[in-house]
Structure formats: structure tokens, C-alpha cells
Chain A
Amino acid sequence: MTHSLHRRGDFESLKDDFVVLGCPATGVNKKGSAPKTQKFLSICYKHGPINLGDMKTGNIYNTTMDDILSRVTDGTIVQCTFDNREKIVSLLKDLKENRPGISVIISGVTDLVQQCMEEAGLGRIHSLEYSLGTWGKTERLSDFQILETVTMCGHAMISADLVRKMVRDVKRGRKTVEDACLELAKCCTCGNYNLTRGMKLFKELLSKYMVHSLY
């Protein structure tokens, strides 16, 4: 399960994009993990995530934090998305002091994640996973500008066509940029869609996509 790994973008685009996961381990600490996961989630919430969710319940744009917290059971994997590194440093300091006991994973620019860990006094990354990109019939992929947005949802629940529709709706005056991005955020159940980055990317998309008819 690598749904936060293959996000597209250059350093400038990804430097303020971090997905933090809390994951209990089957056969090790999954049994009785619900209170630990709730503790992890509550700590993350204190540090101001831009999105947060659990793939079986939804994210904060289609339900409430209380609902997400109350539906955590043993084995629930939760994810919180942050839009700046300072929040990650303060979160890691907090997690070091109040260790919930489940595994914590951060997807982000490797060098920045390592810097944040050092600033929080956590030392070196424990294990790491790199993306080697996309192989095969790459001519079937959407344009890079669309991929930057849709790859924020690793389960591919944000379709390229929906992004294009949102562009048309905004250009036709039917939606604001914020409303369009909120609609995209709702599709990404796990809460991996970074709304701050999403709005920035969407504004860039608007100037690049031509709409043939405004009606």
C-alpha cells in the first residue's frame, strides 16, 4: 500500500507537502491499538493538519473529527496531511515525548523529512521507500499538470476528468477555486489531498487549460 508515495512535482511544489500515517502492526501491536491510534490522531490534530482521515470513515471535508476519532478500531490506519515543515517538526517533538506506540510514517521530500527528524531529536530515518516512477505505456497517462493533482490521492479516487470538469466549472463561473478543490478533497477518502497545495496547483491549471465553450 503506497498511496502517499507517488506524488508528482518538483521540490518547489512538494516542499510543503507531508502525509503522516499512524499504522498498527498485524501480529505485533494491532490488538488493543484503538486508544493508541486515537492518541496519535489527537496529537496530530493539535498541530494543525490541512487534512486528516481514515480510509474507512472519510476525511474532515466529508465528516467530522469526532466521527473519525469515534470510529477508530483496532487496526485502523489514519493519515494526516500537513502543509508546512514547521508543523512537522513540532509534531515529531510531541510524538517523541508522547509516543503512542504504533508505527509513524511520513511521506515527503526525503531531505526535508530527515531535517525535521534531526530538529526533533529523532535521529535517522528508520526505513525508506523510493518511487522509481511510472513505466510501461506512459502515453496513456494524463498531462503532468493533471497528474500533480490526481496523484495526491494514491487510490486514484480523484479522476483526471473530474479535475478537468472543475476547471470548466470555475472558468464558467459556476464554482470558486476553493469550492472546486473542496470537491476534489472529498473524493480522497483517506485525507491525503493537501488542500493548500491543491489550490495552488489548481490556479496554475486554470491558465493552462483552454475551455472551448463557456456554456
Chain B
Amino acid sequence: MGRIHTFKQHDKIPGRVFIEIDQDACTDCGMCLRANICPVNALHQPEDPWPREVRRILSNPFIEFAGSQVPGRGTEEMKTNDVKGTFLPGEVGIGIELGRPGVGAYFRDVEVVAMALMGANIGYQLAMENPVTHFMSDKTTGKLRDDVLNEKATSAIIEGKCKIEKLPEALAVLKGAAKKVNTVFSVEVITKVPPEGEIPIKPILERLGFWYSINSKNNMGLGLPAFKFYSDEK
């Protein structure tokens, strides 16, 4: 997230310079501690109570969020689609990861995007086990708890799904929200690939002129027991 420390002169020892971490900019990811970079072992991380606690939950990959039972910032999403059937044919998963890559995001910006998406009336269903969903005071509007709004995370993901025909509207809403936030967000879309024919979201993205990556995350369908997506599946 760039430099979040400042050099300061010690007020009692002349000539002594020390580094102070900007506590507002720090997301408590714990990386500096794990890397053991301080030559005089002066770094420490206090166990901060709520609401600052959310910084660690979202930013430190070593910490598992009890709601998702998955370490990291999100859920199992498409990773276990082959056994859970989270994303069915005709549905599209949409994830918005605020602060990624490497910028960080305050929850007030997360709320802007969540409320835009929930207010668009496109039937966007939030992933209930996701940490950001958990921090919402109103899951129908995407409003976050007031006490977390000024907290910051290395990144925070809004996860959910809607019908595939609503994808253009969802992306238009996100385009608008992108102008209102003081950070970046990475957008991802998930689809079940049919046994034959085109990947359903590709023609939509191409028609609307949205760039999508040449690399993707791909479920191999090797999980057991396999979820039955089609009635004629063996």
C-alpha cells in the first residue's frame, strides 16, 4: 500500500531518528512482523478491540473469519462449485474486491459500491458467509455498520450473484460507483461452463465492450460427490 511510515526525531535523545507507522493507514496485515524486518525488534502489533479488529480479519491471510470458515478475505465461491452448485446455469457470480491490487480500501468506499449494487434492483444476492456481508447493518440495502466505516483493509470483497441477463445492468452500476470511490477495485465474474457451446458470459462482455483477462480461475470438476447441474447428467 505504499509508504505508511514517517521518520521522526526523538524528542528526548538528540540526533535519534525513529520510524512511526501511520496507524490510520495501516491495515494490520501483520506482514512487517512476519518478515522480521526491524533491526532492533521494535515492531509490535497490539490486539485491538472492535471495530479496529476488522482490519486484521480482512487483511491478515493467517486469520480465518468464523462466518466463512475460510482463511483469507472471501468465500469458497466457484472453487467448490463442482460439489456445491453455488453458481447454476443462467446465473453469474459477481465479485468486487475493493483496494486490490495493493491500494487498500476504507469501508466507507466498500459501502458506496455495496449500496449501489443493492440499490440497482437487479436481484443481486449477497454471499451470506462473506465477511463484508457480515459487517452490513442492512443486508437488503448494502448499508455497513457505522462503526466500521472508517476502518481500512488491504482489500475487501463484496461477493454475490444474479441472473445472467442482469449482468449488463450490474456492470453499468459498477462503472458509476467507480467514479465515486477514493480507491480501486478489481471486478470478477463467475459462470458455469456448459458441456457444449459458448461460455455464456463471453458474448455479453464482448457485446458491451468490457475487457476481460486472458487468464482465469478454472474449476476442473474433480470434486466428489459431484453436484448435478443438469437433469440428464449421470
Contacts and interface: CB of A to CB of B under 8 A. Distances in A.
Contact of A110 (B157, B218, B224): B218
Interface in B1-34: 1-3, 29, 31, 34
Contacts of B75: 1
Nearest to A28: B83
B139 to A, nearest CB: 20
Contact of B211 (A126, A132, A156): A132
Contacts of A127: 78, 81-82, 87, 190-193, 218-219, 221
A206 interface: no
B41 interface: no
A51 interface: no
B162 interface: no
Contacts, number: 277
Contacts of B76: 1, 23, 25-26
B125 interface: no
A150 B217 CA distance: 18
B76 to A, nearest CB: 6
Interface string B192-232: 11010001010001000011111111111111110000000
Nearest to B77: A1
Contact of A156 (B100, B214, B221): B100
B223 A2 contact: no
Contact of B78 (A129, A157, A159): A129
Interface stretch (B47-55, B115-123, B143-151, B179-187): B179-187
Contact of A131 (B157, B175, B213, B225): B213
B73 interface: yes
B154 A102 contact: no
Interface residues of B, number: 75
Interface string B75-110: 111111111100100000101010011110000000
A7 B223 CA distance: 25
A135 B178 contact: yes
B175 A135 contact: yes
Report which residue of A25, A75, A127, A187 has the largest number of chain B beta carbons within 10 angstroms of its beta carbon: A127
Interface string A144-167: 000100110011110111000000
Interface in A16-72: 17, 21, 23-30, 55-56
B178 A151 contact: no
B189 interface: yes
21 contacts: A2-B74, A5-B217, A28-B225, A55-B61, A55-B71, A56-B62, A95-B220, A105-B217, A105-B218, A128-B216, A128-B217, A129-B188, A129-B190, A130-B201, A131-B187, A132-B186, A134-B101, A135-B184, A136-B184, A140-B183, A159-B2
Closest 8 CB pairs of A and B: A126-B221, A1-B74, A25-B80, A103-B223, A132-B187, A135-B178, A131-B213, A127-B219
Interface of A: 1-11, 14, 17, 21, 23-30, 55-56, 75, 77, 92, 95-96, 99-111, 113-114, 117, 122-138, 140-142, 147, 150-151, 154-157, 159-161, 186-187, 189-190
